Structure 1
């Protein structure tokens, strides 16, 4: 824990002295009491997504160590402190991630810091493993890093965890938006190959998620949208994709195409959605739950 807390200072000292330094390869960064009380049962004490309740949940809790955070409002798709705070306060619809609106601002700030420390610790471990694979170090457990390697590690951690500029909604085209053109874009972009011809989700389509578990492309008509159903949120998800999922970025779409596709998605949404249980979400993902009328 001390190593991570004072890591930037240590790096500067090492570079100035021109010597080598042992790098700790653990991910135990000492979570706060609030994290242990509110988060560890699902996300694990070490932030690895393997808490005691994780085996009962679907989709599985996020690993803060190994996996990217899905909700991000930044152009580089790396979650900011504000993004993490929003997820903690509001939760994620149609998952077991509940919101915590009764937590104090101090508690929320503490939990955000815990998550960000886990992210940095995980990036450090990945970098050390890369050096092991390339043969630059013999072991990632307690390696001696040169000043250059220390600097490279700092750059890698920053690249993996530092959020970029906040994404902003492109200015809508002057031409009137078209639902029919949006449907054409939906097909041209092959959205139907995951979400279905009728946008009701990936019924009859086998999709495997990042953990090797089956996953389900959202029912765009009836499901609650995990990261917002307003125009800005839908446009952002289409343009940037969702990190750690099969939802790709559509960065080559013109503003007109992007706006028309968003208009189509908005037009097919039901105003109310019925949340599914963990069992129902799993059964749907493996093809055992039929499409509702």
Structure 2
């Protein structure tokens, strides 16, 4: 019995030593250069891997494929980094985002998901972001790869003084010009919708989509269908302010049916929709929401 215990202890000791050696093994031996000329020394990549293993791996998985041990219990699937897709950048969707876009999500998280804010230093954020890029080398590696142009919210042409007119204009653009309700849902009655159509297009609407008051599942590049938010009920993942909504409308949501509206709508129209959507978001959990829903019953 004593010899058996000694053998077990020896086995455990050897196993522990092997585990320590394995954990301390340097994974990256060479530096890398990523899109936009971002330089990542081997040390940063190895430090980033350690941070990823500690904080990110339970959800995003050992291989960055979004299949961590905690993923099965999450309503919103963790991101599959191997696709090299980025949803919430400040560039037109489909273009490569800047590191600051990653940092923003690390610092603020994503509303309505298990992606919470992380208290990381600037260096730690840099390291883990560079490591995440290694999951999709064909998208990220190489100094010749370009980053998208940063979309910046300039001066709001409406401002607080003309907020109500911005909301009204945004309502018109949302429902008739951009027809955002075809993915999200409508927030006006048939009668008001017809009046807006008369004003914008010179002709009223007499036939209505039976699903106009329902949010519709949309295809995505992530292997799962995505549900656009009902702005009066759901969380908007990456925006809480008019300015953030303006950026999101211009950039779109990468890999989803939410395309960029930049160059499709006029700049003042995008600002107006941002104001209107923010007004809908402000109704969440308030009597105003119930009043709105009652008013659009047909």
Q: Give the alignment's TM-score, normalised by structure 1.
A: 0.65
Q: In the alignment, what sits opposite 2:115?
A: 97
Cα gap change, 1:3 to 1:191, in 2 (>3 Å): farther
Q: How many residues align?
A: 221
Query: 1:47 maps to what in 2?
Result: 64
In structure 2, relative to structure 1, the CA distance for the partners of 1:228 and 1:216 (3 Å cut) is: same
1:173 to 157, 171, 174: 157
Work out the CA distance in 2 between the residues paired with 1:97 and 1:83.
15
More deviation, 260-269/74-83: 74-83
> How many Å apart are 1:71 and its aligned residue?
1.7
Query: 2:134 is paired with a residue of what secondary structure?
Result: helix
The aligned counterpart of 1:223 is 234
SS at match of 1:65: helix
User: Which runs of structure 1 show a deviation greater than 6 angstroms over 4 or more consecutive aligned residues?
Assistant: none
Shift of 1:243: 0.6
Distance 1:39 1:5 in 2: 22
Match in the other structure for 1:34: 51
Relative to 1, partners in 2 of residues 1:170 and 1:109: Cα closer, same or farther, differing over 3 Å? Answer: closer
Distance 2:213 2:80 in 1: 25
Equivalent of residue 196 in structure 1, options 181, 185, 191: 185
- After superposition, the CA RMSD in angstroms is 3.2
Instruction: Check whether the contact 1:202–1:218 (CA below 8 A) recurs between aligned residues.
Output: no
Equivalences for residues 95-244 of structure 1 within 5 A: 95-101=113-119, 103-119=120-136, 121-123=137-139, 154=142, 158-159=145-146, 163-173=147-157, 176=162, 177-187=165-175, 188-198=177-187, 203=214, 205-244=216-255
Deviates more, 1:240-249 or 1:221-230: 221-230
Q: 1:218 to 1:107 in 2, by over 3 A?
A: same
- State the shift of 1:94 in Å: 0.4
Structure of higher CA gyration radius: 2
The TM-score, its normalising length taken from structure 2, stands at 0.64
Which protein is richer in helix relative to its size? 2
CA gap 1:273/1:213 in 2 versus in 1, 3 angstroms: farther
**Partner of 2:100 in structure 1?**
82
Q: Give the Å deviation of 1:4.
A: 6.5
Give CA deviations for 1:21-79 in whole Å, capped at 9, x if unaligned: xxxxxxxx866211101111111222222222222223211111214111212356432
Distance 1:221 1:253 in 2: 23
Whole-angstrom CA distance in 1 between matches of 2:217 and 2:92: 30
- Structure 1's 88 and 202: CA in aligned 2 closer, same or farther, altered over 3 A? farther
Question: How far does residue 154 in structure 1 lie from its aligned partner after superposition?
Answer: 4.1
* Aligned counterparts of 1:253 and 1:202: Cα–Cα separation in 2: 23
Quick check: 1:258 aligned with 2:258?
no
